[in-house]
Amino acid sequence: MEAIFRTTRCRWWCIAVLLALCSAPGHAADWIYTVQRGDNPWSLTERYLAGVNYWPRIQKLNQITDPEHIAPGTRLRIPVDWLRRRSAVARIGSLSGSALVDGPSGRRDARAGLELHSGDVITTAEAGNLTLVFGDGSRVLVHAASELHIDELGTFDNTDYYETRVRLEQGRMENLVAPLGEGPGRFEIETPAAVTAVRGTRFRVSADTTKMRAEVVEGGVDVGSAHGQVGIPAGFGTVAETGAAPAPPIVLLDAPEVAALPTLLDRLPVAFTLPALSGAVGYRVQVGEVPGFEVPLLDLRADGTRLRLGDLADGRYVLRVRAIDANGLEGRDAELAFVVDARPEPPLLTAPAPGTGVTTGQAELQWGARDDIARYRVQLARDAAFDDLLMDTDNVTATTATTPQDLTPGNYYWRVAAIDAVEGQGPFSDPQAFRRLPPAPPLEEPAVDETQLVVSWRAGQAGDRYRFQLAADDGFTAPLVDETLAEANATMPRPEGGTYYMRVQTIDAEGYAGAFGTPNRIEVPSPPSRPWWLLALLLPLLAL
């Protein structure tokens, strides 16, 4: 009973709204007719009105004193209720996802071009969006998870007047209602909480069992319930709850800033990050195809500024986004045209790993295999922008490539793009850096005298340092000497006689250490033995 009462109350207010509008000349409940040469009340009655007994009423309402000679161009008021009425139809313009239509003709799957009549009920799926096109050119976008009842579709013979009444039980809809033009029109949206009466405007409505929200983009909307009525101009919205009057107009949030967002996206999943907008608690995100944006492919709410759009197919799109305030009202739209060109996806680069070094002159580059890819394009450069290219080849059929020349010490960048027969070349992988490490210098022949061992090698680049090791085994498990030196030589006390191993590595000015060179083996002779016994015999004699 409560639901019946609520619906009846909303319809009463709809009638009240229309009666209020009837108080002004040219109101929405009148049809305005411009007199042509030869027109008179009798001919107008025959052409437009529901019965012959209306001609005296036309004459009285418009204060016509000479019915046989009405001046061409005179504007006559004719109440809509007097016009000869017939049923009208609407049709589904476009559809994304799925929806059902229930009505006098039974249950049907929604499809583009399907005609709809009074009494039909549209239910969109969780990912279904569709557009409705009415006879007067008005268009409605019905969003996912919505239930819309088409209560009344009518037109009047030989006029441009259309009457449309729909009921949104739950969900969301966006409306572009045709302007008034020469003739009036009636376009009403009823919800469980309130009714909107509009003409010549763009606005949005959302509803559930207890609350209705309306946001006006262009024109104006009257929102009424059994507890009050409010007019909502462009740039404002209202919230109406069951049992209360609609809220006074609330300023809608500004459009989010999208000018700095990228317009070419070559990575999946597709995502944008918005600059935060003051007052926003979330964002409505819609994506449509280009050209046109009749029905969104995606329609979702983001609670933060990171907009995740998933794996969109390659193509051209429009992003439409608006901020949501604490009242749940959605603000002004921002739009951005963008292109997705992310396929075939680049392979995963495996070696050299990011930030690592290579010790060989020619580096081997490796990446993951893809069964659907026939060949790859490989680039190697000295800079991350790939302006200074050392390698650029697009005929690599394996998942490895060797640099065509010995690399000098320093930083290098490489990337790979996949190429297939359908998409052609896809985007490059993110650049991956590695470093050609400084080579170990060759050791010169060491110098050994009675007190010290001196080892030298060829100096490298300015700022290079060197790590020198000396050990008794070629595995260097317990080095006897392990020093980092600024000069290209090492000096140490002469070790005991025996076999030793020595090696050196270069550490460049940025702190990157190359590999140790091949260990050099050296033999340190034992010092010559001395006849200490003879000296012991001579010492007493020397004391005499």
Strands 432-436 and 357-358: parallel
73, 478, 485 from 482: Cα distances, Å: 108, 9, 10
In the numeric block, which tokens belong to residue 1? 């009973």
Query: What's residue 52's pLDDT?
Result: 87
**Phi (first) and psi of residue 493, to 5 degrees:** -60, 145
Walk me through the domains of the chain, giving residue ranges and CATH numbers: 2-82 (3.10.350.10), 90-251 (2.60.120.1440), 264-340 (2.60.40.10), 349-436 (2.60.40.10), 447-524 (2.60.40.10)
> Rounded CA gap, 166 and 150, in Å?
5
Query: What's residue 25's pLDDT?
Result: 36
Number of neighbours of residue 526 by Cβ within 10 angstroms: 8
- Nearest of 141, 106, 133, 136 to residue 120 by alpha carbon: 106
* Helices and strands, counts by H and E, the chain: 4, 43
Please, what's the b/e burial string for 145-164 (b: 16 or more CB within 10 A of its CB; e: otherwise)?
ebbbbbbbbbbbeebbbbbb
In contact, 192 and 205? CB cutoff 8 Å:
no
Nearest 10 degrees: Cα torsion 349, 351, 356, 359 = -150
- Nearest of 330, 268, 278, 256 to residue 300 by alpha carbon: 330
DSSP at 82: G
In tens digits, the chain (544 residues) has pLDDT values of 333 334 434 443 444 443 343 333 334 468 889 999 999 999 999 999 999 889 999 999 999 999 999 999 999 999 988 999 999 999 999 999 999 999 998 999 999 999 999 999 999 999 999 999 998 888 999 999 999 999 999 998 888 788 899 999 999 999 877 664 444 467 899 999 999 877 678 999 999 999 999 999 999 999 999 999 999 999 999 999 999 999 999 999 999 999 999 999 999 999 999 999 999 999 999 999 887 778 899 999 999 999 999 999 999 999 999 999 999 999 999 999 999 999 999 999 999 999 899 998 999 999 999 888 989 999 999 999 999 999 999 999 999 999 999 999 999 999 999 999 888 999 999 999 999 999 999 999 999 998 999 999 999 989 999 999 999 999 999 999 999 999 999 999 999 999 999 999 999 998 999 999 999 999 999 876 655 555 566 666 666 5
Query: What's residue 438's pLDDT?
Result: 93
Q: Which uninterrupted H or E stretch holds 4?
A: helix 2-21
Q: Exposed (0-12), middle (13-18) or buried (19+): which is 438, by Cβ within 10 Å?
A: buried
Helix (H, G, I), strand (E, B) or coil at 526: coil
> Identity (one letter) of the amino acid at 199?
R
> Rounded CA gap, 517 and 505, in Å?
6
pLDDT by residue (tens digit) across 405-451? 999 999 999 999 999 988 899 999 999 999 999 999 999 999 999 89
> Rounded CA gap, 81 and 88, in Å?
16
In the numeric block, which tokens belong to residue 364? 């081997």
What strands lie across the sheet with 481-485, from one edge to the other?
A: 481-485, 465-471, 498-507, 520-524
Query: What's residue 459's pLDDT?
Result: 93
Angle at alpha carbon of residue 278, lines to 277 and 282, rounded to 5°: 60
Strands 264-265 and 334-340: parallel
Number of neighbours of residue 502 by Cβ within 10 angstroms: 23
For 117-140, the DSSP string reads: -TT-EEEE-TT-EEEEE-TTS-EE
In contact, 136 and 178? CB cutoff 8 Å:
yes
> Rounded CA gap, 150 and 130, in Å?
14
Query: What's residue 529's pLDDT?
Result: 63
In contact, 445 and 456? CB cutoff 8 Å:
no
Strands 99-102 and 236-241: unpaired
The structure tokens 């606005």 sit at 203
Query: What's residue 193's pLDDT?
Result: 93
Query: What's residue 179's pLDDT?
Result: 62
> Rounded CA gap, 121 and 386, in Å?
58
Angle at alpha carbon of residue 526, lines to 525 and 532, rounded to 5°: 150
pLDDT by residue (tens digit) across 85-132? 999 999 999 999 999 999 998 999 999 999 999 999 999 999 999 999
Beta bridge mates, 410: 436
> Rounded CA gap, 424 and 418, in Å?
8
Beta bridge mates, 435: 357, 411
> Rounded CA gap, 18 and 238, in Å?
20
> Rounded CA gap, 284 and 16, in Å?
34
In contact, 458 and 443? CB cutoff 8 Å:
no
pLDDT by residue (tens digit) across 281-301? 999 999 998 877 788 999 999
Beta bridge mates, 215: 204, 237
Residues across the chain: 544
DSSP at 12: H
The structure tokens 């992003």 sit at 319
Query: What's residue 198's pLDDT?
Result: 77
Query: What's residue 187's pLDDT?
Result: 87
In the numeric block, which tokens belong to residue 486? 């600024």
> Rounded CA gap, 346 and 369, in Å?
10
Cα–chain center distance at 530: 88
